[in-house]
Amino acid sequence: MQNTTLEVQANMEVEETEIRDTTLRILITGPESSRSFAEKLKDGVNEFEFFPLDDESRDEDAPFIFKYLKPAIDLAKEGNFNVIIGVDELQQKIGLAIKKADSDSFTIMNAHQVAAILLSGWLAAAEKGKLVCLKSIHVSDMIEQMVMLSKNECHNLVIPIGKFRDEIKKVQSDLNDEVLVAFNVDQEVFHSEKDLEEIVKSLILLETSQREKGETLLELLVDLYSEYGFYKEKTISVDYYSASQKAHLLAIMDIGRKTPKILEERFPISRIIDYLKGKSVNLLTQKKHEFTNNTANILRIESPNNFTITFSPTDNKMYNYVSMKGNISSKARYADEDKHLDKEILRVIQMINKII
């Protein structure tokens, strides 16, 4: 079995370090075709530089954030940049890395974190009840929590690869004057009233606002964790090395559907959501709920111990999306809880490995 972690939650040490200069040095990365995009971002206040990524500098098999951001980090350190933003105009994707206030190191944000940061600003600007959020079922549950607590509407959808815009159009056709925002697990973002340039500017404005308080977007993220719960995600992929191994992994999903008590021997289960059959079952109350059947072979298992596992197979791999929820009462507690969640996620992954 080959495990590849596709999403990494970088460890962040949050300290109250004062930042006096609010002028940002921003490094934009992307294919050469995005050079004109970087030019349009220049605002006469912050300093911008474009770092083109050729085919040799990009690992095409790597997740977007590593493909677009990691090659630029050394240059960003040498040039004393504060922010790295990776852009793919064609696919409307954004990657973000923020320099820590107290060191030269950068924290690479994953799709869940970028979504939470953007959403916090958009919710603050939206009229209550006038924002609709569409998100992939694989995007952090924290996003739904933020939307629902702000008295707005959230749609959790199965979004096939390459179908992000199609799903947006379906939801958009039923709206009146609501603002629609959307997030996918592979860094795709959408705002019905903003193009990609304006979305990137939203991130820049949020970072500027944080620096005026002596902080960065890292501290904003921790504030969001304190308010809505500390959600942490890992994505594990398992390559199929044979037809029999693929059949075995798919059979495990069928066991979860038909006889979930067998899986309960490994970990406690409170609810199972079967997207293939369009139904969810609460194992604690035996209540069942049916929803639109989209024929996606995806199985989500929820535990009363604040974690979920979502099995999502493709033709070549089995993806296991693991999400864990913790709580922090202050910035000072962040580092300890972060380490605790890492240990808990590792424990869940070990339980999955025993099953597969």
**Tens of pLDDT, residues 15-32:** 444 445 678 999 999 988
pLDDT at 19: 47
Q: What are phi and psi of 76, to 5 degrees?
A: -65, -40
**Which range, of 23-27, 172-176, 232-236, averages the lowest pLDDT?**
172-176
Distances (CA, A) of 95 to 119, 323, 352: 15, 21, 29
DSSP conformational letter for 92: T
Contact in structure between 47 and 23 (CB atoms under 8 Å): yes
pLDDT of residue 58: 59
pLDDT, residue 60, reads: 61
How many C-beta neighbours within 10 Å does residue 312 have? Answer: 22
Measured CA to CA, the distance from residue 272 to residue 69 in angstroms comes to 36
Kindly list the distances between the CA atom of residue 322 and the CA atoms of 21, 211, 307, 328, in Å, as whole numbers in the listed order. Answer: 39, 33, 7, 20
Reading the block at residue 166, the tokens are 């199609």
**What is the CA 162 to chain-centroid distance, rounded?**
17
Q: Mind giving me the DSSP string for 97-118?
A: EEE-TTSS-EEEE-HHHHHHHH
For residues 62 and 202, the model is more confident at 202
pTM to 2 decimals? 0.89
pLDDT bucket at 168, cuts 50 / 70 / 90: very high
pLDDT for 104 equals 85
Single out the residue of 186, 180, 181 nearest to residue 112, CA to CA.
186
Mean pLDDT of 214-230: 95
pLDDT, position 2: 43
pLDDT tens-digit series, residues 89-144? 888 999 999 998 778 899 999 999 999 999 999 999 988 889 999 999 999 999 99
